[in-house]
Amino acid sequence: MSPTAPDTAPSGRVPAARRHAGPLPGARAGALRAALLRAAPALTAYLAVRLTSLLLLALWAHRQRHGVWPILATQWDAAWYLGIADHGYAHELGTRYDANNLAFFPLYPLLVKAVAAVTPGTRATTGLCLAVAASVVAAWGVFAVGAHLHDRRTGVLLATLWAALPVGLVQWMGYTESLFTACAAWALYAVLTGRWLWAAGLAVAAGLTRPTGVAVAAVVTVAALLSLRRGFAGRALAAALLAPLGWCGYVGWVGLRLHRWDGYFAVQRLWHNEWDGGVETLRRMRQLLMYDSTPELFLVLVTATLLGSAVLFALSLWDRQPLPLLVFSGVLLLIVLGSGGVYFPRARFLLPAFPLLLPLARHLLRATPRYRVLMLGAAVAAGVYFSAYMALVWPSAP
Say which DSSP state 90 is in. Answer: -
H helix runs in the chain, sequence order? 16-20, 25-63, 68-73, 77-87, 107-116, 123-149, 152-163, 177-192, 196-207, 213-227, 234-242, 245-258, 263-270, 279-286, 297-318, 323-337, 346-349, 358-366, 369-392
Q: What is the pLDDT of residue 10?
A: 37
What three-state secondary structure class fits 339? strand
CA atoms within 13 A on the CB side of 315: 15
Cα–Cα dist 167/128, whole Å = 17
Residue type, 131: A
Identify the segments of the chain with pLDDT beneath 70.
1-25
Could you report the per-residue pLDDT of 174-229, keeping only the tens digit for each? 999 999 999 999 999 999 999 999 999 999 999 999 999 999 999 999 999 999 99
Contacts of 316 (CB under 8 A, 6+ apart): 325, 326, 329, 355, 356, 358, 359
Cβ atoms of residues 267 and 93 within 8 Å: yes
Using alpha carbons, select from 206, 197, 211, 208 the residue that is nearest to residue 241.
197
